[in-house]
Chain A
Amino acid sequence: MTQQDRWHADTVALRQYATGTATDAVGWSVETHLTGCIVCRARLAHLFTDADRSELSRLRCELSVADGLAQSPASPRAALRGVLGPWWAWIGLVVTAFTAVTLLGVVPTPQSGLLTSWAHVLAPLVPLGMVAVVYALADRDPAAAVTPRGGLELALIRTAAVLVVTGPTVTAGMVTIGGGGGAAWLLPGLALCAGALALGPSVGIERACVGLTALWLAVVAVASPPSGLASAAAVIQPSGVTNALWAGALFAAIVVVAAQRERFDLPGRLS
């Protein structure tokens, strides 16, 4: 080994570095050297203050008990769980969405026009709710801490997966209950999802989903007869005009997302 021949950091410099008193010039020199020198890393550890020693052992203890570290390291399956959450959540969400649509499909609303059942009124909220659940479950999974995706990319993967799953599920439910407007829910549903992504960097995606759901329900409540506002009713009622408005909202939300893509940040990035 050529360890002995190599340059090693000065003990005074190492001590200053260990006690946090090294100037930048000394600190940089030490840091650059430590990245590649086993000998000096060991010497530095011996110069640690008692306070830092106990800090280190506290951090190490927390690490053993936290995050299920005793389990095996990341497998492809664990990595996928960090991105999309547990598989059972997806099965549960699909079954729940389909059941809810078919059950609510037989409950008539006081609305007129195409919104003949509660399934028609609430269908656009399904993707939004599913995005919120996926975020809640996947980000709490220890695997999310090391998910090799992050920021906008992760948000788009999760949203796209939700749309791929909810699109056919809800549409199948709507066709099952009949009454027309099988895919009419899709455009407001898309616009609400895009809106949640647009608001995500400011308030967090889960909170944005909850807020937009509350907003939609408030509009539904305001639009409900007998004292319903015609303008509010017109917003949730699928028609040529509202479709154009929703398409506009979808486009605006996509522009907002693209404009602030740098602000997207989610825990767990290691690309």
Chain B
Amino acid sequence: MTASCCVVLSRGDEAALDELWVRHAPWLLLRLRRRAPDEAGDLLQETFLAAWRNAGSFRGGDAGGWLWRIASRRLVDASRRARVRDPRRLPQPTGTDAGVTASAEEQVLADVLDADLATALDQLSPELRAALRATVVDGFSTREAAAVLGVAEGTVKSRSSRARALLRHHLASFTHSVEDA
């Protein structure tokens, strides 16, 4: 269904853009907001503008991955732009840090999601988590991740390999404690 929506979109039908917006703008807005809180709205508009004009590059299937690819490029551009304007500016801390008050909801979540993984992730520093998110969740190349995070490419590589090593270590220790019990 989404595929046919994009076929129409490539013909320039604004109703198709509307449909694409209804389906994809909500999750894209939230995802961009966790990465660039101040610019999420602008980036969302740029993403849809780019999608609208490049609908021909859509290869079919679900449009989610295609749209995120476009959005993530906007994100890389915005980070580079911000640093060209002000080289001293550091990337803003994004995402919610651990330490949100424990609630009944989180108790439920602990059962639903892999609690061990969540705990292991929370033990990583924000820098390591940011590197891991950029390379694993967002699918950025080392170069793009370096632009988004505002660090050198070598730093991205060392941080993400350190983050993986620490995750492995933490997860292994959980397994041991379960075996010991």
- B-binding residues in A (CB < 8 A): 10, 12-13, 15-18, 20-29, 31-32, 34-38, 41-42, 44-45, 48, 52, 55-56, 59-60, 62-64, 66-67, 69-74, 78, 142-143, 145-146, 150-151, 201, 263, 265, 267-271
* CB neighbours of B105 from chain A (8 A): 12, 15-16
Looking at the complex, which one of A15, A28, A35, A73 makes contact with B65 (CB distance below 8 Å)? A35
Q: Are B70 and A69 in contact (CB under 8 A)?
A: no
B8 CB → nearest A CB, Å: 11
A45 to B22, CA, bound (A): 9
Q: Are A35 and B68 in contact (CB under 8 A)?
A: yes
Q: Are B68 and A150 in contact (CB under 8 A)?
A: no
User: B100 at interface (Cβ–Cβ under 8 A)?
Assistant: yes
Q: Are B25 and A73 in contact (CB under 8 A)?
A: no
Of A63, A64, A151, most B-chain CB atoms within 10 Å:
A63
B104, closest chain A residue (CB)? A12
Q: Are B30 and A17 in contact (CB under 8 A)?
A: yes
A269, closest chain B residue (CB)? B77
Question: 1/0 per residue B3-38: CB within 8 Å of A?
Answer: 000000110101001100111111101110110000
B contact patch SS: helix
A98 CB → nearest B CB, Å: 35
A38 to B14, CA, bound (A): 21
Looking at the complex, which one of B31, B80, B121 makes contact with A25 (CB distance below 8 Å)? B121
B61 CB → nearest A CB, Å: 9
A64 to B48, CA, bound (A): 11
* CB neighbours of A267 from chain B (8 A): 77, 81
* CB neighbours of B170 from chain A (8 A): none
Looking at the complex, which one of B31, B80, B118, B133 makes contact with A265 (CB distance below 8 Å)? B80
A201 CB → nearest B CB, Å: 6
B152, closest chain A residue (CB)? A262
* CB neighbours of A37 from chain B (8 A): 64
A30 to B76, CA, bound (A): 22
Question: 1/0 per residue B73-92: CB within 8 Å of A?
Answer: 10011001101100000000
User: B53 at interface (Cβ–Cβ under 8 A)?
Assistant: yes
A151 to B73, CA, bound (A): 13
Looking at the complex, which one of B30, B55, B83, B122 makes contact with A18 (CB distance below 8 Å)? B30
Contact status of A13 and B53, CB under 8 A, knowing A34-B27, A44-B26, A73-B10? no
Q: Are A23 and B49 in contact (CB under 8 A)?
A: no
Looking at the complex, which one of B14, B44, B84, B112 makes contact with A201 (CB distance below 8 Å)? B84
A265 to B74, CA, bound (A): 12
Of A35, A56, A67, most B-chain CB atoms within 10 Å:
A35
Q: Are A25 and B29 in contact (CB under 8 A)?
A: no
Which residues of B (77-131) have their CB < 8 Å from a CB of A? 77, 80-81, 83-84, 95-98, 100, 105, 108-109, 112-113, 117-118, 121-122, 129
Looking at the complex, which one of B17, B22, B65 makes contact with A69 (CB distance below 8 Å)? B17
